[in-house]
């Protein structure tokens, strides 16, 4: 093999550009880089970024070549920092060759990059790495045919065993070729590309690729250097005209058409022997994202969640903790222990109607903890199994209909974990429009794990019809508001690329540790809030303000929502956290003060509240106080209006629960 990095064997330096390794994440690119360079590697941040780029030297066919290892990317045309760095290296350093490292088990992913390299007019060699794993799974790739279609050398490697390096060195030594793979788009887009190319500076390298990126809406400032403002305006006008032909964002359409071209190639060269190799997890993983078969999977997951959290957590465990532990022992012990206190006000503060023990601790430990404990356990199982990214793929389809595309799905699904965190995750979105839209939807209709657990637990007791109505109202609201927001808020959407980890059996140690850590966090964060909320209610009641607030809110709570006046207290608590308000409503229902319809209406209202005070603070931090107040100012009245409409409709139709 003539492919090594020891100084002794290095000959005269090459006159061409570097050899650049490009590939998807986790395909063994860095292992290959290590094998090629061996020593003399420098790792530094790419200028102006936090992305690390490694450079080393290798001897290829007696020439000393600089080898550059770029960050793993799924697309060269996406707007992320890693993608930009890789793109800049390819455009500015004009490599003598690119080694496109593919995971042979997932060839189509690499072919997307191959199509983009072809568009960028960069010569490359395709390396089918992890070839052994692919063969073990019964995957056959016709390398000769693939080489013929692409017009470049295709070699097989197993980097972890240093296999195939001779073939790679040979391919690099034999002057890598430009690919003839040309992803063609439909007539309108091709015409748009032609028009944009005509406007680009003459002699621009990779002009077609730049034109595609401009049409897709990516910032290609370097390529546009020297272009007049008028040219930039004309490009924008072409893009706008073209966008008017499609319902989906143009970047998404271009990506889909490129993927289609890639699929056609994969269909010809890629086959899997049936019954060989593919593990059950692989089959289940594919089922979970299938447009039709994936739906029963989602429903089955939700049903199991409902049974575990709603029936077991909120039923069996809460009955035991509230009825037996607190009802028979803790509350009585607390009453006995405080009997000696002479001041009635202090006694009431501890064990009265709004007492720290009888209300705050009872709610927090006897009702909320078992419900969120079971929910956290279920959520950790889902997370560790790799199902959540697949759920993102499933919900991406309906989300597209409301103008919410791509990466927006990730924070929406993560919102099921914690809305406050998910609000921050909206930073990964490209446009302010999407960020604001997702933040609004998160605050309005995506309950976090704790809130979902409590609300599911409570509503589970009302029966399947109530669960369906609650879920229907919530989903309808989510879609209606999302759709309207996408029309009202200015800006454009972005594309969706979701890396899917393998589906696997959850590791018990991970699940236990995560569940315990989340429960600890919840106890630390929420119990103090419960105590503060209870103390506030106690104070309001002592000064007589509670009854006045109830009277003031009476037209809304009693008139519009059809609830008893006491429910006002729970909505007040809901301003601190939705689940605190929900658990108060749960308590009212258990005392027989709410019938099933009233429970349903009140839970719909509390689910649509702003999630918690921390979430409000996060919106202030991310968007400023004015936007945060506007979001909350929209959400709270909106929640009451939806609840009121549900109440009036259910009564008018005389729907029984």
Residue 81 vs 260, nearer CB to other proteins: 81
Residue 75 vs 243, nearer CB to other proteins: 75
> Quick check: helix, strand or coil at residue 44?
strand
> Quick check: helix, strand or coil at residue 151?
coil
Task: Say how many C-beta atoms besides its own lie within 10 A of residue 598's C-beta.
Answer: 20
Tokens of 223: 């390529």
Residue 18 vs 411, nearer CB to other proteins: 411
Tokens of 505: 């059996």
Residue 426 vs 647, nearer CB to other proteins: 426
CB 448 within 8 A of CB 418: yes
For residue 408, give Cα distances in angstroms to 246, 253, 384, 387: 20, 17, 21, 18
Closest separation in Å from C-beta 566 to other proteins: 30
Residue 427 vs 487, nearer CB to other proteins: 427
Closest separation in Å from C-beta 30 to other proteins: 11
Task: Say how many C-beta atoms besides its own lie within 10 A of residue 534's C-beta.
Answer: 25
Q: What are phi and psi of 617, to 5 degrees?
A: -60, -35
Q: What does the binding site for other proteins look like in residue numbers (CB under 8 A)?
A: 25-26, 383-384, 386, 389, 410-411, 414, 417-418, 420-421, 424-425, 427-428, 499, 501, 509-510, 512-514, 516-521, 524-525, 614, 617-618, 621
Residue 271 vs 510, nearer CB to other proteins: 510
Closest separation in Å from C-beta 109 to other proteins: 14
CA distance 26 to 19: 20
Closest separation in Å from C-beta 136 to other proteins: 21
Closest separation in Å from C-beta 501 to other proteins: 5
Residue 476 vs 501, nearer CB to other proteins: 501
Task: Say how many C-beta atoms besides its own lie within 10 A of residue 112's C-beta.
Answer: 22
Residue 33 vs 270, nearer CB to other proteins: 33
| Residues, the chain | 657
Asked whether the CA dihedral 142, 147, 148, 153 is positive or negative, the reply is negative
Residue 325 vs 523, nearer CB to other proteins: 523
For residue 179, give Cα distances in angstroms to 16, 115, 121, 215, 559: 19, 8, 8, 23, 71
Residue 191 vs 520, nearer CB to other proteins: 520
Distance of CA 96 to the CA centre of its chain: 37
Please enumerate in sequence order all residues whose Cβ is within 8 A of that of 331, keeping only pairs 6 or more positions apart, or say none.
351, 357, 358, 362
Among 321, 450, 471, 285, residue whose Cα is nearest residue 378: 450
Closest separation in Å from C-beta 453 to other proteins: 16
**Strands of 207-278, DSSP E:** 270-272
- Strand 52-60, strand 42-45: pairing: antiparallel
Buried b (16+ CB within 10 A) or exposed e, 455-490: bbbbbbbbeeebbebbeebbeebbbebbeebbeebe
């Amino acid at each position: 093999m003539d492919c090594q990095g020891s100084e002794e064997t290095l000959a005269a330096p090459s006159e061409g550009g570097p050899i650049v390794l490009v590939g998807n994440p986790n395909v063994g690119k860095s292992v290959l880089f290590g094998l090629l360079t061996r020593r003399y590697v420098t790792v530094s941040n790419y200028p102006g970024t936090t992305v690390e780029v490694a450079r080393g030297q290798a001897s290829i066919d007696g020439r000393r070549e600089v080898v550059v290892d770029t960050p793993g990317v799924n697309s060269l045309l996406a707007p992320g920092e890693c993608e930009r760095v890789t793109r800049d290296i390819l455009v500015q350093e004009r490599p003598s060759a690119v080694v496109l490292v593919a995971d042979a088990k997932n060839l189509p992913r690499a072919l997307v990059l191959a199509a983009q390299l072809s568009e960028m007019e960069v010569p490359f060699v395709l390396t089918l790495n992890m070839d052994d794993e692919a063969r073990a799974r019964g995957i056959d790739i016709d390398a000769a045919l693939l080489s013929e279609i692409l017009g470049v050398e295709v070699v097989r490697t197993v980097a972890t065993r240093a296999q195939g390096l001779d073939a790679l060195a040979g391919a690099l030594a034999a002057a890598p070729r430009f690919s003839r793979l040309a992803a063609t788009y439909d007539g309108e887009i091709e015409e748009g590309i032609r028009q944009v190319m005509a406007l680009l500076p003459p002699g621009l390298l990779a002009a077609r690729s730049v034109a595609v990126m401009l049409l897709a809406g990516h910032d290609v400032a370097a390529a546009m250097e020297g272009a007049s403002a008028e040219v930039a305006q004309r490009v924008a006008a072409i893009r706008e005209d073209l966008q008017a032909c499609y319902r989906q964002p143009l970047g998404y359409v271009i990506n889909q058409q490129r993927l289609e071209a890639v699929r056609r190639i994969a269909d010809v060269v890629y086959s899997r022997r049936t019954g060989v190799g593919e593990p059950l997890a692989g089959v289940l993983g594919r089922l979970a994202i299938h447009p039709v078969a994936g739906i029963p999977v989602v429903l089955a997951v939700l049903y199991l969640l409902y049974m575990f959290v709603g029936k077991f957590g909120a039923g069996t465990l809460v009955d035991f903790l509230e009825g037996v532990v607190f009802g028979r022992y803790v509350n009585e012990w607390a009453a006995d222990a405080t009997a000696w206190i002479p001041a009635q006000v202090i006694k009431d503060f501890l064990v009265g109607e709004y007492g720290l023990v009888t209300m705050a601790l009872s709610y927090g430990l006897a009702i909320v903890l078992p419900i969120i404990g079971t929910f956290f356990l279920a959520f950790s199982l889902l997370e560790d199994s790799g199902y959540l990214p697949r759920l993102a793929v499933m919900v991406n389809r309906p989300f597209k209909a409301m103008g919410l595309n791509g990466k927006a799905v990730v924070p929406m699904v993560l919102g099921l974990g914690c809305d406050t965190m998910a609000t921050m995750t909206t930073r990964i979105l490209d446009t302010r429009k999407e960020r604001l839209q997702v933040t609004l939807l998160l605050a309005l209709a995506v309950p976090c794990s704790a809130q979902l657990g409590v609300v599911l637990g409570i509503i589970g007791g009302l029966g399947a019809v109530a669960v369906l109505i609650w879920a229907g109202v919530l989903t309808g609201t989510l879609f209606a508001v999302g759709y309207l927001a996408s029309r009202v808020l200015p800006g454009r959407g972005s594309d969706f690329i979701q890396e899917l980890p393998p589906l696997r059996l959850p590791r018990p140690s991970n699940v236990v540790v995560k569940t315990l850590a989340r429960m600890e966090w919840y106890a630390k964060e929420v119990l103090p809030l419960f105590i503060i909320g209870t103390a506030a209610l106690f104070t309001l009641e002592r000064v007589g303000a509670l009854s006045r607030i109830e009277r003031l809110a009476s037209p809304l709570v009693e008139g519009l929502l059809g609830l008893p006046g006491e429910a006002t207290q729970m909505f007040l608590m809901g301003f601190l956290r939705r689940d605190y308000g929900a658990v108060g409503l749960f308590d009212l229902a258990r005392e027989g003060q709410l019938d099933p319809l009233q429970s349903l209406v009140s839970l719909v209202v509390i689910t649509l509240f702003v999630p918690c005070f921390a979430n409000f603070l996060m919106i202030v931090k991310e968007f400023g106080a004015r936007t945060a107040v506007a979001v909350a100012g929209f959400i709270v009245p909106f929640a009451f209006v939806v609840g009121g409409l549900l109440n009036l409709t259910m009564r008018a139709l005389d729907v029984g629960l």
